[in-house]
């Protein structure tokens, strides 16, 4: 601690000396280290122009040192001044033509400015001369070139070669999964990572990649196991916890997901997103009290979290505690008025209160915001049928059919037709709906329960069922 304070004081004195020297018109330091420290300080403070200014002073004093040209090239690259960056990396190259880092960075800049062929020539040359340790980095650089050409399979192959040399290279491990997602090379990814793990079983990122690869080919239990290993090996690996829990949730393994999210909250602190995910598990497990507690914590950290307001409203709705549900949903809609599910839940609240006008307005808003999702149209139309607003309901069906299709919409058309005593169309729509999905007949009977006892309709249904 004392050493760190001493270092900070020394650095601050160095910055003060630099500013005084500038004022006096002459900047000179006896040691190169002083320039390096100043450059690093200004970069950390995101004062890039000052960092370049220090580099320029260094170059007037140490004009034959390649590292200052290299540093300036990298700063310019970060500022997206690519042509200037290329100019300075070539100056560095003129002084140190065999420096591998300089050559690799030059290939990166050439790739960015669209000179991939020249960049590849540098890499090909380095592959013949680089040491095994440098070769892993050479192949990573090669992967950037293939990525820029959208040759994602070759990108994968370059990263594979890098990892077969250095299986612990964090950049290669991160980038190879990007290449797999783009190339869909899941099977080879699994084979490679199993090779790596066989030799280095405590390679947490390799287990993480393996988990995602297994998930992509539908081997979900293997995926969960691999993702679990990623954070068991490295208990500080937050992405391992969260991705494993997410997968468990998607597979409806709510108990397991809840356990992992809880562990993540305990280990990494209360984060609104993780608390929301935990609450979703608790909600699915019908532990409404715990779900509300998690959501209250999430909202205390982020009062503008519309998704948390929505879920807590659904908790209240499930308890038939309608007033706080409406209040939470109105807050959610105020924060994001584009989410159809918010209006849908609000409509359900007003149905509970028998406030049918407000329910109708919110069902309509849900449907027009989620036009391609038949669920919202179906529930809106079913609601109108129950209100005996048959003509408006048929108009809504016609509107819905412009955007989406479902057998339930056909059941709605049939139910409306029967309600309007249009039996021929009613039977035609009913036949089409049953042919599409006979299991949803229950939905039809909910709309027209009296037809359960209609012998002619029942005979027709038996015929349609074959």
Q: Encode pLDDT of 131-157 as tens digits.
A: 888 999 999 999 999 999 999 999 999
CA dist., res. 160 & res. 167, Å (int)? 9
CA dist., res. 84 & res. 315, Å (int)? 58
The rounded mean pLDDT for the chain is: 94
Q: Decide if pLDDT at 25 tops 80.
A: no
Confidence of residue 4 (pLDDT cuts 50, 70, 90): low
Q: What is the pLDDT of residue 2?
A: 46
Q: Encode pLDDT of 81-113 as tens digits.
A: 999 999 999 999 999 998 999 999 999 999 999
Residues whose CB falls within 8 Å of the CB of residue 396, separated by 6 or more in sequence, listed in order: 367, 377, 380, 381, 384
Which domains does the chain possess? 270-361 (1.25.40.10), 371-466 (no CATH)
Q: What is the pLDDT of residue 57?
A: 87
Confidence of residue 19 (pLDDT cuts 50, 70, 90): confident
Q: Encode pLDDT of 262-290 as tens digits.
A: 999 999 999 999 999 999 999 999 999 99
CA 189 to chain centre: 21
Confidence of residue 14 (pLDDT cuts 50, 70, 90): confident
Tracing tokens 């080919």 back to the chain, one arrives at: 217
**Closest Cα to residue 188, out of 161, 170, 166?**
161
**Closest Cα to residue 44, out of 17, 16, 20, 12?**
12
Q: Encode pLDDT of 310-343 as tens digits.
A: 999 999 999 999 999 999 999 999 999 999 999 9
CA dist., res. 444 & res. 458, Å (int)? 13
CA dist., res. 82 & res. 113, Å (int)? 7
Question: Quick one: 258 exposed, middle or buried, by C-beta within 10 A (0-12, 13-18, 19+)?
Answer: buried
Q: Encode pLDDT of 222-258 as tens digits.
A: 999 999 999 999 999 999 999 999 999 999 999 999 9
Confidence of residue 6 (pLDDT cuts 50, 70, 90): low
Q: What is the pLDDT of residue 11?
A: 75
Q: Decide if pLDDT at 35 tops 90.
A: no
Q: What is the pLDDT of residue 243?
A: 98
Q: Decide if pLDDT at 198 tops 70.
A: yes
Measured in degrees and rounded to the nearest 5, phi and psi for residue 192 equal -60, -50
Confidence of residue 32 (pLDDT cuts 50, 70, 90): confident
CA distances from 253 to 244, 267, 311 (A): 11, 21, 19
Q: What is the pLDDT of residue 26?
A: 80
């Amino acid at each position: 601690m004392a050493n760190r304070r001493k270092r900070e004081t020394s650095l601050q004195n160095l910055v003060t000396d630099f500013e005084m020297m500038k004022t006096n018109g002459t900047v000179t330091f006896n040691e190169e280290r002083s320039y390096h420290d100043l450059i690093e300080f200004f970069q950390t403070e995101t004062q890039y122009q000052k960092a370049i200014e220090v580099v320029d002073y260094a170059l007037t004093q140490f004009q034959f040192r390649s590292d200052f040209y290299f540093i300036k090239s990298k700063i310019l690259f970060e500022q997206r001044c690519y042509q200037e960056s290329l100019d300075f990396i070539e100056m560095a190259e003129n002084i140190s033509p065999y420096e591998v880092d300089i050559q690799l960075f030059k290939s990166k800049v050439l790739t960015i400015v669209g000179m991939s062929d020249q960049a590849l020539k540098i890499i090909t040359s380095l592959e013949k001369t680089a040491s095994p340790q440098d070769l892993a980095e050479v192949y990573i650089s090669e992967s950037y070139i293939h990525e820029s050409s959208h040759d994602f399979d070759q990108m994968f192959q370059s990263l594979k070669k890098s990892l077969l040399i250095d299986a612990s290279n964090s950049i290669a491990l991160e980038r190879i999964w990007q290449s797999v997602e783009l190339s869909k090379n899941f099977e080879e990814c699994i084979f490679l990572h199993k090779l790596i793990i066989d030799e280095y079983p405590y390679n947490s990122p390799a287990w993480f990649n393996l988990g995602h690869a297994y998930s992509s080919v539908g081997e979900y239990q293997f995926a969960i196991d691999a993702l679990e290993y990623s954070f068991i090996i490295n208990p500080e690996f937050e992405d391992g916890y969260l991705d494993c829990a997410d997968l468990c949730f998607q597979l409806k393994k709510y108990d397991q997901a809840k356990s992992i999210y809880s562990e993540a909250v305990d280990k990494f602190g209360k984060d609104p997103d993780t608390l929301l995910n935990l609450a979703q598990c608790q909600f699915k497990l019908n532990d409404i009290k715990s779900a509300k507690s998690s959501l209250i914590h999430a909202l205390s950290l982020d009062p503008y979290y519309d998704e948390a307001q929505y879920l807590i409203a659904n908790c209240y709705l499930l308890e038939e505690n309608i007033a706080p549900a409406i209040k939470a949903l109105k807050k959610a809609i105020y924060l994001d008025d584009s989410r159809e599910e918010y209006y849908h839940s609000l409509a359900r609240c007003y149905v509970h209160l028998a406030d049918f006008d407000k329910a109708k307005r919110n069902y309509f808003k849900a449907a027009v915001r989620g036009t391609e999702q038949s669920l919202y149209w179906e529930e809106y139309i079913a609601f109108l049928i129950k209100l005996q607003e048959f003509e408006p309901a048929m108009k809504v069906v016609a509107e819905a059919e412009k955007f989406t299709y479902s057998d339930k919409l056909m059941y709605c058309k049939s139910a409306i037709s029967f309600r309007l005593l249009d039996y021929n169309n009613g039977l035609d729509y009913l036949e089409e709906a049953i042919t599409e999905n006979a299991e949803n007949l229950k939905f039809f009977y909910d709309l027209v329960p009296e037809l359960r006892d209609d012998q002619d309709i029942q005979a027709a249904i038996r015929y349609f069922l074959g």
